[in-house]
């Protein structure tokens, strides 16, 4: 695969969710290649709200390429794609999820899965060049949210049994997205992204402890009891349904698969979980 960069453009690349787990890595990878970028979120100079269409035109003004991160379960994605095409966008790199097109991977009534499939179809049929990224579970869930509070408390409780997961480093997601936005050879590709090996939560927590992080125990919870506990804590039922649907794919062993998207897109192996832990530990991610 060629790595020749496309000719430089005067038009910025729009990075939605540019302060989030993947968007921040995409922005960093693009900056490292001297690309002109525009980060859009609720708190940026040009604010962006999925729920407020009046904010869409300003962030799209002058843009020719977009890194598109949808809001889980929201149905506004296809409308945004149509607005982007009308504004002159010529390239879209979409963050989706591994397993969205596999029956039984997620719950049949999972709104996040339906929204992702609708958005994938909209991107493919819109007209601009497209690349779709389907990552599995992020390694950074251990260091930047979701799992971090449990680790700091010394106990990570999840309804995932003893299953293993091929956690993908979001640094790799950023690198693949930047390549798809800047380099030829990625048009029409759907990249399923994972790490190079699968490991259980027990093994992941042991690696974190060995690197100087807090030693935490993994506790396997009953899925129904786990969902009921979240609802009792005041988490909206629709969010609980999406969260438990995603965790269910781990419990059924579906997230252990090793995908070839990173080496296929970048010509190198995916970053190992050990590399992630060694880079995250000095930041104090797991310091109570």
| 135-157 confidence digits (pLDDT tens) | 999 999 999 988 999 999 999 99
Residue 31: what pLDDT?
97
- Distance (Å, rounded) from C-alpha 18 to C-alpha 35? 14
How many CB atoms neighbour CB 21 within 10 A? 19
pLDDT band at residue 4 using 50, 70 and 90 as cut-offs: low
In whole angstroms, give the CA distance from residue 208 to residue 58.
Answer: 43
Across 154-179, average pLDDT: 97
What pLDDT shows up at residue 10? Answer: 67
Residue 1: per-residue pLDDT:
47
Between the alpha carbon of residue 84 and those of residues 58, 80, 145, 240, the distances in Å are 11, 6, 31, 31
- pLDDT, one tens digit per residue, over 64-100 is 999 999 887 678 999 999 999 999 999 999 999 999 9
SS3 at position 21: coil
The SS3 assignment for 232 reads: helix
pLDDT in tens, 174-217: 999 999 999 999 999 999 999 999 999 999 999 999 998 778 99
Domains, the chain: 13-279 (3.40.50.720)
pTM for this prediction: 0.94
Span 260-275, average pLDDT: 98
Say yes or no to pLDDT of 7 above 50.
Answer: no
Q: How confident is the model over 129-138, as pLDDT tens digits?
A: 999 999 999 9
**Helix, coil or strand: residue 165:** strand
How big is the CA angle at 189 (ends 127 and 196), to the nearest 5 degrees?
150
């Amino acid at each position: 695969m060629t790595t020749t960069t496309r000719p430089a453009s005067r038009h910025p690349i729009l990075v939605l969710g540019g302060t989030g787990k993947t968007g921040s890595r995409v922005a960093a990878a693009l900056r490292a290649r001297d690309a002109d970028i525009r980060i859009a979120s609720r708190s940026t100079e040009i604010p962006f709200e999925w729920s407020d269409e009046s904010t869409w035109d300003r962030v799209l003004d002058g843009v020719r390429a977009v890194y598109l991160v949808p809001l889980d379960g929201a149905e506004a994605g296809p409308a945004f794609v149509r607005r982007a095409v009308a504004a002159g966008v010529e390239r879209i790199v979409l963050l989706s999820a591994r397993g969205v097109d596999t029956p039984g991977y997620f719950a049949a009534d999972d709104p996040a899965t339906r929204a992702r499939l609708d958005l994938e179809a909209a991107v493919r049929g819109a007209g601009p060049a497209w690349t779709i990224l389907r990552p599995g579970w992020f390694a950074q869930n251990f260091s930047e949210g979701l799992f971090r509070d449990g680790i700091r408390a010394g106990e990570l409780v999840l309804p995932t049994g003893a299953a293993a997961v091929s956690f993908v480093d979001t640094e790799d997601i950023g690198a693949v997205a930047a390549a798809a936005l800047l380099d030829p050879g990625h048009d029409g590709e759907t990249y399923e992204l994972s790490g190079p090996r699968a490991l259980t939560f027990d093994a992941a927590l042991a690696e974190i402890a060995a690197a100087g992080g807090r030693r935490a125990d993994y506790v396997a919870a009953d899925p129904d009891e786990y969902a009921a506990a979240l609802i009792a804590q005041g988490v909206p039922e629709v969010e609980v349904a999406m969260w438990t649907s995603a965790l269910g794919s781990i419990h059924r062993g579906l997230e252990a698969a090793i995908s070839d998207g990173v080496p296929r897109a970048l010509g190198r192996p995916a970053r190992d979980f050990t590399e992630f832990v060694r880079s995250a530990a000095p930041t104090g991610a797991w310091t109570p």
